[in-house]
Amino acid sequence: MIYFKKLKTKQDLDELLHFLISFEKRILLVAKEAGLNILKHTGRVEVRIYKIKNGLKLVFEDFSNSLDIKKAFLKGYSTSKTLGIGLNLILNVVMRWRL
Dihedral (CA of 6, 9, 15, 21) sign: positive
73: pLDDT strictly greater than 80? no
pTM of the model: 0.79
Q: 9-27, pLDDT tens digit by residue?
A: 999 999 999 999 999 888 9
Residue range 41-59: average pLDDT?
91
Distance from C-alpha of 73 to C-alpha of 62, rounded to nearest angstrom: 15
- pLDDT at residue 6 is higher than 90: yes
Alpha-helix residue ranges (DSSP H) falling in the chain: 10-20, 25-42, 69-72, 86-98
